Structure 1
Amino acid sequence: MASQRIRKRWRRGSFSSLLLILGAISLMGIQAAHHKHVIQFTTVGTRSSLLDHFIVDFLDDVQVFSYDKHNQQLIAKEAWISQALGAKFIAKTRQKLVDHEKSFLWFLSKFVQNNTKHDVNHTVQVFILCEIERNNQIGNEIEIAVDGEDFCLLDEKMGSWIISVPEAELFKALLTSTLWTTQREQYMQEYCIDTMKKILQHSSIRKNVPPEVTVSRREAVDGITTLSCSATGFYPSSILLHWQKGKEMIVAGKESSSGVLPNADSTFFQRITIELPPEDTGINYDCVVDHIELGTPKTYPVHIRYPKKRSWTVTLTILGLVILALSCAASFIMWKKIKTGYSIHKCITLEDIQLDLQGH
């Protein structure tokens, strides 16, 4: 789906910049050097009516706002977020979102104007991204998708709209017009950049948390060894995991990754695995984890548990001690029987030893 592809691309793009500025604190009170603000619009409707229209707002991968057409209320995840932005800003933003419904309905009516099936439902998704680094704006991006397929994309670094399907040509003149460009730039500054800065200056959206790392090794019946490294419970989401053998980064082997996935508590999870050839048992491998809360990259070794094997020497020694102990016990009992007039010609059995010991 287009939304999944976009989020993956944003996540990859944030990794390299974050690693360059680990530990930086901005002068404006922003607690981490790199932040991103994502606003996602989703609309379902026909040319004549909207069945659903909702917005979800994320700051550094944590939801901060939501809105839908049924209650027409802008709801903040935490009360302090509304207080940080102010009642006037919240009211203005809410009215802007109500007005967006008319804009999306106009888009749908124009999109299906040449379609004879006017009552067919269509889904329109708009993804808005803005990023700051050290409190400076570093990029904006807008992508529109229709019915799960890319429609058009604006990357301000490229400075132009990319048309993905012929139907988008119908809107190109509007998208590139001076009036719409000016309105878009104002919107991005006021509702994407400025909103993000106000929230971050008031307080961090949540505290940073280092990852909990688990490394395991599993050997299959076909001789293939699989190494697994899991990092969970970390925030923010930017993290790098890779395998190394000795001091060399792994470039061979069948490696796979789950990607960065959200946990229920707004932290994140990632697992990487690697399949080794039968001749490689996984000795001397480490999982290297790089996250802002770790300070420097940490290595987590793969521990191999070998089965415990007793040597013949140890086994024979234990057996000899047991025989010696039984011999001493038998000699003592024989001496005692002789002393009391017991015939030595009668064999001493293990049963005799046990009964004699129980008697004492």
Structure 2
Amino acid sequence: MGAAPAVCVVFLSGVVVSVLGGDQHSLYYIYTALSKDVALPGIYEFTALGLLDDREIDYYNSKEQVKVPKQDWMKEKMQPDYWDKGTQSRKSKEQWFKVNVDILMQRMRHTNNTNLHVLQWRHGCEIDEADGNVRFLRGIDEYSYDGSDFLSFDDENMRWIAPVPEALPTKRKWDEVPILNQYTKGYLEKECVDWLTKFMEYRKESLRNHSKPDVHAFAKKSPTNSGRLTLTCLATGFYPKDMVVSVRRLHTSLPEHLLTSSGVRPNDDGTYQLRKSAEIQEDEREAEYDCYVNHITLKEPVIKKWDKKCSDCQSDLNAGLGLVRKITVGVTVVLLLLDLLGGIIFVLKKMQITGNSRN
């Protein structure tokens, strides 16, 4: 393989998901090259994507040949020249991959078969900011061929690891250029971390402007007591994650020890959600319950009243069925009247036509 260290993990349609804690974050770039065009929608000979905390932030493929943003905040924050330079970089890597797929197929003695072969590269970094300070956790730069590990960078010792004999020529070639390995280490531990923290800040700024909570109040039958309901207050889509949610009766918050809380949980888009639930007697429906929510993005708290309905209670289901029956009966009566009216009109028209024919 030619000079250009890289990372490779195998997954055509999937994405490698990092298992990180709430204060840990990752930035990875993943490149995938196929040995031939498979003529399937959405599958290209070469693709490249960037992932921030396992969410796609940019994308490139060999058909459109343009690096594009996949998050609104990336489009808003990154200047046009960032995308122009990124496009040129992706085009160069596409050509590099075409050459090296052929080289690897020769090494693996795959040149005489018509099977599809895949070369992938993954590189990036992970950090921890639990105490407010950014701490580098690890950097990854690795390649895979047809789903198997082919070559990886040992960041601590600044050398390449070859798990298969076919990777040894590349390992020797790259290890013989110390400045190349120094650059790889510097990228993983410094440049990648800088980009990761910058992207995180851009995302936070965007979320701060578009992160008001969406509030819901609903009830279901209690799973443990047939005479009780579980009343839930749900706030979702908010950022940052500091949030106040209370279940209230007659404008008075129920004590926290009477509530069940989900704790603040992340949504897929980087926002958060929190739900709190209280058990109430089913015959307390007429009491006024509501959800009280306060957040830094709100000018004043949101108060969402419970509509006193229960989504899976038999009485509500019967009421709904009763309404459906009334509507059905009403529609049937209307249809009968229309049929009768249509018949009368038809007879009148028939008489009129007959009468005209006599004249």
TM-score category (smaller protein) = 0.3 to 0.5
TM-score (norm: length of structure 2) = 0.47
TM-score (norm: length of structure 1) = 0.47
